[in-house]
Amino acid sequence: MAEILGHNYIGGARSAAGQDTQTSFDACTGEALPYRFSQATAAEVDAAAQAAAAAYGQFRSLPASRRAEFLEAIADEIDALDEDFVALVCRETALPAGRIQAERGRTSGQMRLFAKVLRRGDFYGARIDGALPERQPLPRPDVRQYNIGVGPVAVFGASNFPLAFSTAGGDTAAALAAGCPVVFKAHSGHMATAECVADAIIRAAEKTAMPAGVFNMIFGNGVGADLVKHPLIQAVGFTGSLKGGRALCDMAAARPQPIPVFAEMSSINPVLLLPTALQQRGSKIASELSASVVLGCGQFCTNPGLVIGLRSAEFSAFLQEFSAQMAAQPAQTMLNAGTLDSYRRGVDRLLAHPGIEHLAGARQTAGKAQPQLFQADVSLLLNGDELLQEEVFGPTTLVVEVTDKTELLAALQGLHGQLTATLIAEREDLAPFADVLALLEQKVGRVLFNGYPTGVEVCDAMVHGGPYPATSDSRGTSVGSLAINRFLRPVCYQNCPDQLLPQALQNANPLGIARLVDGETTRDPLAG
Amino acid sequence: MAEILGHNYIGGARSAAGQDTQTSFDACTGEALPYRFSQATAAEVDAAAQAAAAAYGQFRSLPASRRAEFLEAIADEIDALDEDFVALVCRETALPAGRIQAERGRTSGQMRLFAKVLRRGDFYGARIDGALPERQPLPRPDVRQYNIGVGPVAVFGASNFPLAFSTAGGDTAAALAAGCPVVFKAHSGHMATAECVADAIIRAAEKTAMPAGVFNMIFGNGVGADLVKHPLIQAVGFTGSLKGGRALCDMAAARPQPIPVFAEMSSINPVLLLPTALQQRGSKIASELSASVVLGCGQFCTNPGLVIGLRSAEFSAFLQEFSAQMAAQPAQTMLNAGTLDSYRRGVDRLLAHPGIEHLAGARQTAGKAQPQLFQADVSLLLNGDELLQEEVFGPTTLVVEVTDKTELLAALQGLHGQLTATLIAEREDLAPFADVLALLEQKVGRVLFNGYPTGVEVCDAMVHGGPYPATSDSRGTSVGSLAINRFLRPVCYQNCPDQLLPQALQNANPLGIARLVDGETTRDPLAG
């Protein structure tokens, strides 16, 4: 592992122009690690955006196969990050080595998925409407459309996934795949990790001869605001808190030229326990659900924060068992002191609420997060109590009992937008609760059956998104190959000579991609 | 033609709860027409949004073929609007009957195009990643994704296309196709027209048994703000001024739940005249270009407002001829008094600018718009003078001469986002100016060759969009079938029993649509 320098990454070079530094900490002990990170100056933020903009023209025009090679080279470099690196990430985040090893594989896997998308070519969205010179009253021109990258993208690293949603994470992968150079704002919680991953990206960029500013990284407090406001930045990817995400959205909307922000923010991920499922396997559900709530110390965007069941003897029995399971969960170290502090305050707000009962969980002590279980009266959901809709980031969840399906539908109607909703159901439950499914679909990005939301498969069909406040724009996803669409925009050519067209639109179809030609999808070349 | 009642349209019924009324005017004479339109009250705006939201659940869940029938029924009703109707539109807009007849056909054609898209099924964006139960270390779940409508959409009518960008225009068609009920805000410039078209939509909705709130319409000053702020509205479509569009964007971004606004606003549509083309057909270009500038009294979003050429004897000759052509263009009646007033002020600003020379055009008199031609020093473009970038809505254009290609590239670099850019070029011009094309692509939604931007073909491949301020979101188009994507969002199902899946995602592929299955596009059914 190379020495940690703590410099910003601008246009392929290192830069440490400012006087201020940031420190990285051991997440378990709280002690300062021996690294200092140079807070980017306003001039460095500007230089990073300029470098990205300078790279854009060349990078976006590369054949998609060249960008695929770059992503694959990044994947190889990430896979090659060794056990010293894993140990460093563990120190900065208090996450166990197994989780970091798995996340390393997930991160390189994401890069390879986008490389596949680039080679497949459907991201081009190629459409051709041929000329109709004889049409009356006016001839139809030849019109051809494809997608190009929107321009330089600002990406913010997330605290909870130091690899998969960070420096070389899903947003970076999607932006680079789209042909958009990236300026990455490293998360203060794992800056040494970020540096190692940035080095891996830079090595890959050099090996595959990418333009120098294709990837840039800045450190520092508050530099994100300058970045989002920079006129050359054309879109933003963010994973984090509602407060932080909304602040970026507001900044982006207030720019002279507003830009889109794809912020993945806050979700309580309701889990519905249907009657037959509870009857047949209530005790198994209690243990699976408690494992999902405390997985990774509850530090997942898809952590199940709301469990809803229908009043019945089985639900009461489940509740008892679930309480016992939650009470038995050990305390865990959180990502950092700030996260633990937020968790403690979130738990305190629930404890202080008169309509909410504390069912299980040890008193919060210093240093670690104690798993907690609460029960709220359904009236809080029906009356739109905001506290119930607030994500408490950590190993806690809240149970609500409804009297019947009518009340269930009313309670769900009041829910804000979510990343996920889960139905724990047996075959017999499905028909009577079909209208619940239709309603859930309007509220979420992903509906799960008999699983738990805390695993987000990286694939073509995944949607890790959903209506506000789960994300700032429900039309995007931040996991899976569709994520590339956030950073693409369509452009069309009218009566363009064939040799000047991008390859994706040329008559001969040299890329061999599927195209919508006069309303039919085909890979056939056109008569020239 | 039915009597014009002037009531708002809410949930399939008429409503005139308020005391205030709006008047429609004869665009040529300025005299009041004998119709009064009831200004929607706050309660009526709320009721319209509620009606749309109530219809959403049923409407979005209809088979796409049923929504296609609805759009086709609207198309038939619009085609059936008779010559009395055409005369009424002409009175309200001062547009000639031939133009209105053509626009009627364009409007019904748009509806039929979206019906085709619904039957084709690619709008579903269906993706399936099958389960891999044996995968190590964890099995892969079955994940299936498709698109659903975002919810009720607010659409604002445009002044310049009383049919094609208005009540049953492209935004309404795209939203309805996506499964989103519409609340339409009628433009004050053609309210009687809007009523006739709304009646046509309601007749079609009744004939095809659509839910009552599928289409709603409100009249009035300032009611648009209430509509955009309404919590049930999930997206906005708008065509109009930069000021108006930006105001809606700001409102939408400031909501507790921000929503996307697709505003098509301001574009000066640069036309580049390349040397060989000028040599070979300068005089033809001068007459074609002047015809494009004054087409429809210059009241097109794609009106060519900036003409750029390289210094040469041919360009000087072209300029002389173009000046003569522009001087010979007759005055025309504008859409309404407000538009004429804006035009007059825009022309006055150009006249008053010390860096801008007036080349041709009669002094502006009352009542009609006089076509005008100006020439600006290239330094204004190079130094980012804002006046040059401002759209003057009407029959005026501005010429800029550059000394060479280097200066041309620098001038283009400073241009704001545009709907279109046009290259007037011969084969010999293409190679030397290839880098100009690459730059233009970054600035616009559509690049044209040897045509004029004032015709926007309605087809699959059209992009009527572009970077800000041409639109508020360059990832959309407001003309062509891709426009439906603005009002769709992806949802995915994980391990969902086949019978509960939407038809688009079921194993048997009952809709017979193309789907991305495990990374390959296919229409084949899956083993169940």
ipTM over 0.85: yes
Please tell me the distance from the alpha carbon of residue B435 to that of residue B431, in angstroms, as a whole number. 9
Residue A450 CA: distances (Å) to CA of A278, A421, A481, B493: 12, 11, 24, 11
Nearest CA in chain B to A443: B491
Residues of A in contact with B446 (CB under 8 A): 491-494
The structure tokens 């309605």 sit at B458
The one-letter amino acid at B151: G
Residues of A in contact with B493 (CB under 8 A): 446-449
Shortest CA gap B73–chain A (Å): 21
Residue A221 CA: distances (Å) to CA of A23, A40, A189, A227, A249: 11, 9, 11, 12, 18
pLDDT in tens, B488-526: 999 999 999 999 999 999 999 999 999 999 999 999 999
Please indicate whether residue A301 or residue A32 has the higher confidence score (pLDDT). A32
Shortest CA gap B450–chain A (Å): 7
Residue A521 CA: distances (Å) to CA of B73, B121, B514, B523: 27, 11, 9, 11
pLDDT cut 90: percent of chain A above it: 93
**Is residue B96 predicted with pLDDT exceeding 80?**
yes
Collapsing DSSP to helix, strand or coil, A36 comes out as strand
Nearest alpha-carbon partner for A125 in A523, A512, A504, A507: A504
What contacts A316, CB < 8 A, 6 or more positions away? none
pLDDT at B366: 76
Residues of B in contact with A61 (CB under 8 A): 438
* Cross-strand pairs, B357: B375
Residues of B in contact with A461 (CB under 8 A): 127-129, 143-145, 492, 516
Within 10 angstroms of residue B521's Cβ, the number of other Cβ atoms is: 15
Collapsing DSSP to helix, strand or coil, A314 comes out as helix
* Cross-strand pairs, B224: none
The structure tokens 């990455």 sit at A184
Q: What angle do CA B331, B334, B338 make, to 5 degrees?
A: 130
pLDDT at A454: 87
pLDDT at A300: 87
Check CB contact under 8 Å for B437 and A500. yes
Strand (E) or helix (H) holding A436: helix A434-443
Please indicate whether residue A313 or residue A301 has the higher confidence score (pLDDT). A313
pLDDT in tens, B236-246: 999 999 999 99
Query: What structural domains does chain A harbor?
Result: 43-265+477-485 (3.40.605.10), 270-449 (3.40.309.10)
The one-letter amino acid at A439: L
**Is residue B1 predicted with pLDDT exceeding 80?**
no
pLDDT at A390: 87
Reported as a pLDDT band with limits 50, 70 and 90, residue A298 is confident
Please tell me the distance from the alpha carbon of residue A480 to that of residue A464, in angstroms, as a whole number. 8
Half-sphere exposure of residue B358, counting CA atoms within 13 Å on the CB side?
15
Please tell me the distance from the alpha carbon of residue B90 to that of residue B333, in angstroms, as a whole number. 11
**Can you tell me the mean pLDDT for B460-483?**
97
Give CB contacts under 8 A, 24+ apart, made by B363-368: B365/B331, B367/B333, B367/B340, B368/B331, B368/B332, B368/B333, B368/B334, B368/B340
Please tell me the distance from the alpha carbon of residue B304 to that of residue A422, in angstroms, as a whole number. 54
Shortest CA gap B196–chain A (Å): 26
Within 10 angstroms of residue A524's Cβ, the number of other Cβ atoms is: 10
Helix, strand, coil abundance in chain B, percent, nearest 5: 40, 20, 35
Q: Closest partner residue to B475 among A141, A457, A489, by Cβ? A: A489
Nearest CA in chain A to B417: A257
b/e map of B130-146 (b: 16 or more CB within 10 Å)? beeeeeeeeebbbbbbb
**Can you tell me the mean pLDDT for A464-477?**
97
The structure tokens 């800045």 sit at A218
**By the 8 A CB rule, do B165 and B157 touch?**
yes
pLDDT at B87: 97
Shortest CA gap A456–chain B (Å): 10
Shortest CA gap A32–chain B (Å): 35
Check CB contact under 8 Å for B145 and A500. no
Collapsing DSSP to helix, strand or coil, A415 comes out as coil
- Give the CA-trace dihedral at B35, B91, B299, B79, to 10 degrees: 90
Q: What is the mean pLDDT of chain B?
A: 96
Q: What is the mean pLDDT of chain A?
A: 96
Residues of B in contact with A459 (CB under 8 A): 129, 140, 143
- Annotated catalytic residue: which of B264, B391, B401, B407? B264
Reported as a pLDDT band with limits 50, 70 and 90, residue A2 is confident
Reported as a pLDDT band with limits 50, 70 and 90, residue B379 is very high
Please tell me the distance from the alpha carbon of residue A445 to that of residue A341, in angstroms, as a whole number. 29
Nearest alpha-carbon partner for A12 in A220, A145, A182: A182
Mutate to test the interface with B, among A489, A501, A503 (most CBs of B within 10 A): A489
**Can you tell me the mean pLDDT for A364-391?**
91
pLDDT at B499: 92
**Is residue B528 predicted with pLDDT exceeding 80?**
no
**Is residue A388 predicted with pLDDT exceeding 90?**
no
Check CB contact under 8 Å for A475 and B459. no
Residue A95 CA: distances (Å) to CA of A297, A331, A367, A369: 9, 13, 15, 13
Strand (E) or helix (H) holding B407: helix B405-413
The structure tokens 């009002």 sit at B487
**By the 8 A CB rule, do A129 and B445 touch?**
no
Nearest CA in chain B to A519: B460
Reported as a pLDDT band with limits 50, 70 and 90, residue B446 is very high
Check CB contact under 8 Å for B475 and A490. yes
pLDDT at B345: 94
Q: Closest partner residue to B519 among A138, A460, A500, by Cβ? A: A460
**Is residue B375 predicted with pLDDT exceeding 90?**
yes
Please tell me the distance from the alpha carbon of residue A513 to that of residue A119, in angstroms, as a whole number. 9
Dmax (CA) for chain A in angstroms is: 80
Strand (E) or helix (H) holding A120: helix A97-120
**Can you tell me the mean pLDDT for B408-435?**
95
Please tell me the distance from the alpha carbon of residue A446 to that of residue A474, in angstroms, as a whole number. 11
**ω into B137 cis (within 30 of 0):** yes
Chain center to CA of B399: 26
Reported as a pLDDT band with limits 50, 70 and 90, residue B321 is very high
pLDDT in tens, B168-225: 999 999 999 999 999 999 999 999 999 999 999 999 999 999 999 999 999 999 999 9
**Can you tell me the mean pLDDT for B364-387?**
91
Residues of B in contact with A519 (CB under 8 A): 116, 120, 460
Q: Report, as residue numbers or ranges, the catalytic residues of A.
A: 264, 301
Check CB contact under 8 Å for A468 and B516. no
pLDDT at B338: 87
**Is residue A370 predicted with pLDDT exceeding 90?**
yes
Shortest CA gap A89–chain B (Å): 22
Check CB contact under 8 Å for A492 and B446. yes
pLDDT at B365: 76
Please tell me the distance from the alpha carbon of residue A265 to that of residue A247, in angstroms, as a whole number. 11
Residues of A in contact with B494 (CB under 8 A): 446-449, 451, 457
Chains A and B: how many Cβ contacts under 8 Å? Answer: 216
pLDDT at B361: 95
pLDDT at B76: 98
pLDDT in tens, B47-68: 999 999 999 999 999 999 999 9
Residues of A in contact with B490 (CB under 8 A): 445, 463, 465, 475, 477, 482
pLDDT in tens, A174-228: 999 999 999 999 999 999 999 999 999 999 999 999 999 999 999 999 999 999 9
Q: Closest partner residue to A57 among B260, B438, B497, by Cβ? A: B438
Q: Closest partner residue to A519 among B56, B444, B460, by Cβ? A: B460
